[in-house]
Chains A and B, each alone.
Chain A
Amino acid sequence: MTALLLLQEAAHGEGGFTPFSINTGLIFWTVIVFLLLLAFLWKLGWPALLKSVEERERRIQQQLDEAARAQAESARLLEEHKRMVAAARSEAQEMVAKAKTLAEKERETLLATARHEYEQLLARARKDIEAEKEKAILELRREAVDLSIAAASKLIEAKLDTEANRRLVTEYLATLGRPQ
């Protein structure tokens, strides 16, 4: 009741307004003021602010994109580098293996040559020794014959037929020289 009385009383006051009265004229004014503000800001206010903001957003996005691209690029380079290192390593291994087999073959041929030469030398030496031995035996035999004859002739000089004796001794010595 009091509130209603207050409303009535206030309505009689300055301009006939209460906090709850709806003034149609004010609706008109509000729309006018708001639309004017909207138009002014649309033309002169927001573009400056929002353009800068949008441009900055775009720039930041661009930088982010660029960073992502750079990262992808670096990842790609790293991958390529790794691949290159792996290729180089396998190549080096291959080269080392090849060198090893080559060295092995070389060693083998060298050894074979050396063995051959050594065997040849040995054979020659053996043949030489054999020949020398033969010669020495022959020499010794003749010497023995001569010495025996000399001794025998000294011993039985007078009586004995030298030629017959000589044959006898030679025959004997020949039996000595033959291997038993």
Chain B
Amino acid sequence: MMQGPDIGKAIFEHTSDSRVVELPFGLGEWHLPTGWRLFGIDVSPTKHVVFMGIAAALVFLTIWYAGRQVERRHREGKAPSGFGAAIEAIVLFVRNDVAIANIGHGGEKFAPYILTLFFFILYCNLLGLVPWGATPTGNLAVTGALALTAFLTVEISGFRALGPKGYLKTIVFVPPGMSGLGAVAMALIMTPIEIIGKIVKPFALTLRLFANMTAGHFVILSLLGLIFVFAGSWVVGLVAPAAVLFVVGMMLLELLVAFLQAYIFALLTSVFIGLMQHAH
């Protein structure tokens, strides 16, 4: 077996969170402060926190600028154009075909949340494709937290839409038409399933986004790692061009996946909200 560099370790270091942010163009490293504690939890910032902040700032700038542009064109009585029109098209798609289409009546109320979710995840995904970038959405804590907001939104909006009694029915489920002992038995069987159903949804959201983002990076880094594995041998002349070609292909695929996963996260959150809103 060939004695190469530890590619696995390099891949893990690249995709995992870190206390150090690599600055672009060889400007060195930024060592983040440590030892921040809140309620006994270590809340020191990490690389993914920094990139989340960057993503949030970029999202805000994008929407703010597009909004200004669209509003100005609207005031002038003209159709939107250029950057504003492009962002507006995406916003309209997410609002109408993702949020309102899946939540149903009253979906406009949730549109800002779904839109924010979509753009924030999209920008986090895309930051991983930029040189010196990192993908916050390739971190279980981040996707888990986003899924947690989705879970809370689903449950709280469901509670408000259905009322306490209606909401209780989504936990203790008795099939319509059953009464007496049968109803008690069904409730005993169905309640754990309903509770599991509620909890599984955010878990699915968490893992899907995390796995998609991390897997893409693993594949790209593994392909690039092949070059280092074969370094020093004549085979590298064949492996390197092939690996680079595959990496370019993977990068394009990752670009698609970045949009796709943001879309799926927003879509599923909308579907879950809609399911709760119109339960029974």
Contacts and interface: CB of A to CB of B under 8 A. Distances in A.
Interface of A: 2-3, 6-7, 9-10, 13-15, 17-31, 33-38, 40-42, 44-53, 55-56
B49 A21 contact: no
Interface in B233-254: none
Interface of B: 8-9, 12-13, 15-20, 36, 38, 41-46, 48-49, 52-53, 56, 59-60, 63-64, 66-68, 70-71, 73-74, 80, 87-88, 91-92, 95, 111-113, 115-116, 120, 136, 138-142, 144-146, 148-149, 214
Given A19-B15, A21-B16, A28 B38 contact: yes
Contacts of B19: 14-15
Contacts of A47: 67
A23 B46 contact: yes
Query: Which of B64, B91, B112, B214 neighbours the largest number of chain A CB atoms within 10 Å of its CB?
Result: B112
Contacts of B91: 49-50, 53
A24 B74 contact: no
Contacts of A24: 41-42, 141
Contacts of B17: 15, 17, 21, 23, 26
A96 B81 CA distance: 67
Contacts of A17: 16-18, 46
Contacts of A55: 74
Give 5 closest A-B pairs by Cβ, nearest first: A48-B67, A30-B145, A26-B141, A45-B63, A15-B19
Contacts of A44: 60, 64, 67
Given A14-B19, A27-B145, A33-B49, A6 B70 contact: no
Contacts of B116: 34, 37-38, 41-42, 46
Nearest to A56: B74
A27 B148 contact: yes
Contacts of A10: 9, 12-13, 16
Contacts of B145: 26-28, 30-31, 34
Contacts of A52: 67, 70-71, 73-74, 80, 88
A30 B52 contact: yes
Given A28-B43, A45-B67, A46-B115, A33 B16 contact: no
Query: Which of B64, B141, B149 neighbours the largest number of chain A CB atoms within 10 Å of its CB?
Result: B141
Contacts of B9: 6, 9-10, 13
12 contacts: A17-B46, A25-B36, A25-B46, A26-B49, A26-B141, A29-B49, A30-B142, A31-B148, A37-B120, A42-B112, A51-B71, A52-B88
Nearest to A31: B145
Contacts of B71: 48-49, 51-52
Nearest to B41: A24
B52 A53 contact: no
Contacts of A53: 70, 88, 91-92, 95
Nearest to B140: A22
Nearest to A42: B112
A166 B164 CA distance: 159
Nearest to A44: B64
A14 B56 contact: no
B146 A6 contact: no
A13 B139 CA distance: 17
B59 A6 contact: no
